[in-house]
Amino acid sequence: MIIKFKNKKNNKIVKIVSIVILIFLSSFTIYKIYVSNYYYAEDVEDYLKSNEQVKVKKTKYGYFFDGNYNNTKIIFYPGAKIETKAYAPLLYKIAQIGIDVYLIDMPDRLAIYGIDKADKIINKKPKCNWYMMGHSLGGAMASNYAYKNQNKIKGLILLGAYSTKDLSKSNLDILLIYGSNDKILNKEKYKECLKNYPKNHNEYIINGGNHAAFGNYGKQNKDGKLETTFSEQQAETIDKIYSMIYGK
């Protein structure tokens, strides 16, 4: 009787373990399918080549756009499920105005898994004027980094994004940019989070712009219509970034 009881107990344990393993494998498979379905970069190869103005380097962390200026630098976190190099045109053009830009690869293209990736870069040159910048989920995670590291950075630039962290008492320069036709950005949450910024933060709405045009990855599902062009949306973005950093 005792042996029979033990066998039943062992069989029950084996069944439970098997079910747990099956659930884990199923969840892992679903997750991998989810992250493998992402937006690919379009027409960006020319912006991954160096010239006299901008030196482009592929690095361990992603890409470096050398704007030949040693003091002002931007670290950029991409949006969720978007190929990293889709942001090359925007960041290349920022480097053209004399700002070094670090474009960060994220695990499974989800910035939530790489919030602190800026640390290794910033810690090598702590005396520079560092700005965190990100698009969509990348902007939210750049905000999280800024919240935890206010003493390391000078400012925060959010593209189609908002901060859920309270930065209202910070000394950070903060710039918010989004397109008037952005249907991905949660506008109610965006407005609710405006209280999280210092009173002197800057906000700019691109007329006819949408969520996807900050990068070059085509139309994003459920986004609004782009009534300007990728180039125009990015040019307006760069103009506002230049004004923020250089005060012009």
The model's confidence at residue 20, banded by pLDDT at 50, 70 and 90, is: low
CA 151, CA 145: separation in Å to the nearest integer?
11
CA distances from 219 to 33, 209, 211, 224 (A): 21, 12, 9, 9
The model's confidence at residue 35, banded by pLDDT at 50, 70 and 90, is: very low
For residues 33 and 46, membership in a common domain is answered with: no
**What is the Cα Rg of the chain in Å?**
22
- Residue 1 pLDDT > 50, yes or no? no
For residues 21 and 114, membership in a common domain is answered with: no
- Report the range of poorest mean pLDDT among 36-40, 60-64, 205-209, 215-219: 36-40
For residues 7 and 117, membership in a common domain is answered with: no
Closest CA to 79 of 46, 48, 41, 27: 41
- The CA-based diameter of the chain, rounded to the nearest angstrom, is 87
- Residue 28 pLDDT > 60, yes or no? no
For residues 233 and 172, membership in a common domain is answered with: yes
Closest CA to 236 of 119, 109, 93: 93
pTM across the whole model: 0.88
For residues 24 and 146, membership in a common domain is answered with: no
For residues 123 and 12, membership in a common domain is answered with: no
pLDDT for the residue 31: 47
- Residue 81 pLDDT > 90, yes or no? yes
For residues 16 and 90, membership in a common domain is answered with: no
For residues 83 and 62, membership in a common domain is answered with: yes
Mean pLDDT over all residues of the chain? 90
Sign of CA dihedral 152, 105, 243, 185: negative
pLDDT for the residue 202: 97
Domain that holds residue 115: 41-246
For residues 231 and 145, membership in a common domain is answered with: yes
Residue 26, SS3 per DSSP: helix
Say which CATH number the domain at 184 has: 3.40.50.1820
Number of domains in the chain: 2
Higher pLDDT, 161 or 8: 161
Over residues 144-155, the mean pLDDT reads 97
pLDDT for the residue 17: 66
Per-residue pLDDT tens for 216-241?
Answer: 999 999 999 999 999 999 999 999 99
Share of the chain above pLDDT 70, in %: 85
pLDDT for the residue 27: 61
Strand 173-179 vs strand 155-159: parallel, antiparallel, or unpaired?
parallel
User: Which residues is 102 bridged to in the sheet?
Assistant: 64, 75
